[in-house]
Amino acid sequence: DHAPETATAAASGANATARFATDKSAAAAATPPERVSLLAREVLAAVHKAVHDHKVTYDEYNALKSWLINVGQDGEWPLFLDVWVEHAVEEVAGETRDGSKGTIEGPYYVPAAPELGHDAVLPMRDGEHGTPLLFQGQVTDVAGQPLLGAVLEIWHADDDGFYSQFAPGIPEWNLRGTVTADENGHFQIRTMQPAPYQIPTDGACGKLISAAGWHPWRPAHLHLKVAAPGYQQITTQLYFPGDKYNDNDVADAVKPELILDPHDVDGGREVTYDFVLDKV
Ligand code: MBD
Ligand code: FE
* Axis-axis angle for helices 204-212, 58-73 (nearest 10): 140
Does the beta carbon of 161 lie inside 6 Å of ligand 1? no
Compute, in angstroms, the gap from residue 38 CA to the centroid of ligand 2: 32
Does the beta carbon of 219 lie inside 6 Å of ligand 1? no
Neighbours of 6 (CB within 10 A): 8
- Percent of the chain residues past pLDDT 90, beyond the cut: 89
Whole-complex ipTM: 0.97
Does the beta carbon of 197 lie inside 6 Å of ligand 1? yes
Compute, in angstroms, the gap from residue 197 CA to the centroid of ligand 2: 7
- Ramachandran angles phi, psi of 273, nearest 5°: -145, 125
Contact 129, 159 (CB under 8 A): yes
Q: What is the pTM of this model?
A: 0.94
pLDDT of residue 33: 94
pLDDT > 80? residue 166: yes
Mean pLDDT of 41-67: 98
Mean pLDDT of 271-275: 98
pLDDT of residue 5: 53
pLDDT of residue 25: 74
Closest CA to 120 of 62, 54, 55, 173: 173
- Range with the poorest average pLDDT among 13-17, 42-46, 82-86, 126-130: 13-17
CA–CA separation, 280 and 270 (whole Å): 32
Does the beta carbon of 82 lie inside 6 Å of ligand 1? yes
Mean pLDDT of 206-211: 96
- Ramachandran angles phi, psi of 256, nearest 5°: -55, -35
Compute, in angstroms, the gap from residue 157 CA to the centroid of ligand 2: 7
Beta strands in the chain (DSSP E): 119-121, 132-141, 151-156, 176-180, 186-192, 197-198, 217-218, 221-227, 234-239, 263-265, 268-272, 275-277
> Which comes out higher in pLDDT, residue 24 or 120?
120
User: In whole angstroms, what separates CA 152 from the centre of its chain?
Assistant: 15
Q: Given its phi and psi angles, is residue 244 left (phi above 0), alpha (psi -120 to 50 degrees) or beta?
A: alpha
pLDDT of residue 267: 92
pLDDT band at 3 (very low <50, low <70, confident <90, very high): low
Mean pLDDT of 150-176: 97
Average pLDDT value for the chain? 95
Compute, in angstroms, the gap from residue 79 CA to the centroid of ligand 1: 7
pLDDT band at 2 (very low <50, low <70, confident <90, very high): low
pLDDT of residue 12: 83
In this structure, the chain runs to a length of 280
CA max distance for the chain: 64
Closest CA to 101 of 237, 227, 194, 245: 237
140: Cβ contacts below 8 Å, ≥ 6 apart: 146, 147, 185, 274, 275, 276, 277
Quick: pLDDT tens for 55-86. 999 999 999 999 999 999 999 999 999 999 99
- Percent of the chain residues past pLDDT 70, beyond the cut: 97
164: Cβ contacts below 8 Å, ≥ 6 apart: 158, 170, 171, 172, 173, 174, 175, 176
CA–CA separation, 82 and 76 (whole Å): 10
Contact 207, 70 (CB under 8 A): yes
Look at ligand 1, atom 1, and give the residue with the nearest C-alpha: 106
